[in-house]
Chain A
Amino acid sequence: MDIKVNVRETDTETNIVELAGEIDVYTSPKVKDALGELIDRGVYNLVIDLEKVRYIDSTGLGVLIGGLKRVREHGGTVNLVCTNPQIKKIFDITGLVKIFGIYDSEDAAMKASV
């Protein structure tokens, strides 16, 4: 069990962070470090692609919330790409659907972050 993090620059100020695997109490520090590194470099607009994430728990949600909090301090945004019903359900029941923009595709998330 692991999490893979792949960061892609785009021709806009937004970077795409592709996550693949499972985000839990063991793997979430790796995601936190990756997001922290981007934000420290001044990247404040992020699209986080969760399409290849099979599982996320509250520590993973906490990392996403932490990232959002940091970019918002700089007027930035975090938009998510997620179509997995089980993962969307977790965002629904925690009310995080009201905090994050959640989109069905990277294109839609990118358009929303411009």
Chain B
Amino acid sequence: MTVPPPEQATAETVELRIPRKAEWVAVARLAVAAVASRMRFTIEEIEDVKLAVAEACTNAIQSADGADQIEILCETDHAHLRVTVANRRGVGAAIVAPPLAEDEVRIDGLGVFLIRSLMDDVEYAVDPESGSRLVMIKRLAS
């Protein structure tokens, strides 16, 4: 399913770039929660968004594409919060898979399952040039 962009006329954008390190994931999830809290989401929905963003960042950290930063783009309008989490690969970054234990592979799958359960629309794409990108949408109840 294609994730529609927010309506241009009312869209507002917040961008954040964090190092691709575990200790920065909390900053990303709290920042996006702050964006969501400016909309009419319930506390439970804000918690859903927070967890989904953290899972996307964790996925980015555990992926094997050699990115050194994670970009988080929030686009809001009257009806949606659209969050894009993308790996940003530095020039010359090596594409080396970090060693994952058997449990960690399964956990990675659990994270994606959570994202799909908590958000309304989710798209995932891997671009060999720019890295991986996950787009997810939470809709405001009408």
Q: Which residues of A contact B (CB under 8 A)?
A: 1, 22, 24-26, 55, 57-59, 61-62, 65-66, 69, 85-86, 89-90, 93-94
Contact = CB atoms under 8 A, between A and B. Distances in A.
A16 B117 CA distance: 31
A36 to B, nearest CB: 12
A39 B44 CA distance: 35
Interface residues of B, number: 25
Contacts, number: 60
A59 B58 contact: yes
Interface in B1-32: 22-23, 25-26
Interface in B88-142: 103-104, 106-108, 110-111, 113-114, 117-118
A63 B109 CA distance: 14
Contact of B54 (A57, A61, A62, A86): A57
B114 A25 contact: no
Contacts of B111: 57-59
Interface of B: 22-23, 25-26, 44, 47, 50-51, 54-55, 57-58, 61-62, 103-104, 106-108, 110-111, 113-114, 117-118
Given A24-B58, A26-B22, A90-B51, A58 B103 contact: no
Given A57-B51, A94-B113, A25 B61 contact: yes
A110 to B, nearest CB: 27
Contacts of B58: 24-25, 57-59
